[in-house]
Amino acid sequence: MQADAGGVEGFGFSETENQIQIRQMVRDFAEKHIRPHVMEWDEAQVFPVELFKEMGQLGLMGVLVPEEYGGSGLGYHEYVDVIVEVARVCGSIGLSLAAHNSLCTGHILNFANEEQKQRWLPKLATATCIGAWGLTEAGTGSDALRMQTTARLDGDHYVINGAKNWITHGKSGDIAVVMVRTGETGKASGISAIVVERGTPGFEAGKKENKLGMRASETTEMIFDNCRVPKENLLGAEGEGFKQAMKVLDGGRISIAALALGIAKGAFDAAVNYAKERQQFGQPIANFQGISFKLADMATEIEAATLLIRQASDLKNRQLPVTKVSAMAKYYASEVSVRTATEAVQIFGGYGYTKDFPVEKYYRDAKLCTIGEGTSEIQKIVIAREVLNL
């Protein structure tokens, strides 16, 4: 049984019957096909590709992609629901789902020309191909303008050299959108976005990271050694890649906020149920104020995060500026996720520190949300700039 931190499951706002049905469908799928394997995949660091193929058949790998390209043609409210329900069961699967939809697929959807959309979107939307997105490098995380991966135009091809780090699906991804330096270091106009397909000579996977959490979501290097890519794979014009990436991250932050919310809800569900069942001093520990106040704080923060995400989704659906609110949603929801998971472990006590109970995994998975797609500190910089009109 799942507890509910909020008064209404669908963000406390009015919602369509379609939203309710989609949420229930994803919840049922997650319970049947994901929950039984959560710890198995986590312990072995297995990226379950076949699961994503199944989700592709359900339309979950192209939630925002129009139906003409093989997608579901849904909006951000439905997209957030999908990620929340998956992450409520397993943060790793939620992370990979979000990265595929928001980053690789989202970049192509928003910035590719018609021929490129027809070429790649149907494959991504159905999970015939898994997507990856490469911005970060070993020496340039938040300081992306100083990336060292270069692309030099040689006739009808770009020749790419360098490496990307911390890339979700860097090994298993079939289609990767890669940000490369085509101009001067340190300038936004020096960055371009190019699609590189798996199997292209000179494109290989490197080290797979051994992570604290999100262990079933593959994270590896992508290495480019004189990798020749047709110039037709350039997204937009040369020099537009950094601007494109920042816009992609605006939407991506909503998905990471949803991921964080799902993890928080999963940890909260477990904590509520345990607090009702666990007996100490002749009564359930939920009866003690020290525990009930923790649950009250958790529920309140989850509801506040939910409303911020709902606002960001609404702005995105209406194609209004979303930079400030998406950064707020990502920053707040990710920190709430960490606090909620921490308190859930505390409520479980010693049991919460073992792998026999679910909250230790929520605790490990939650931390990534404060780091990935821009740290909490970067979100505060973005918010401050928007507030100060800098």
| Catalytic residue IDs | 373
Query: What secondary structure letter does DSSP report for 209?
Result: P
CA-to-CA separations, 249 to 190, 216, 257, 284, 307, in angstroms, rounded? 18, 23, 12, 44, 20
Q: Which of 97, 134, 105, 110 is nearest to 122 (CA)?
A: 105
Contact 78, 63 (CB under 8 A): yes
- Using CA atoms in the order 106, 107, 110, 115, what is the torsion angle rounded to 10 degrees? -110
Residues 100, 133: Cα–Cα separation, whole Å: 8
Amino acid at 301: E
Q: Half-sphere exposure (CA, 13 Å, Cβ side) for 264? A: 31
Q: Letter for the amino acid at 206?
A: G
Q: In whole angstroms, give the CA distance from residue 143 to residue 4.
A: 39
* Closest of 230, 241, 260 to residue 91, by C-alpha: 260
For residue 112, report the phi and psi dihedrals to the nearest 5 degrees: -80, 155
Rounded Cα gap, residues 6 and 41, in angstroms: 30
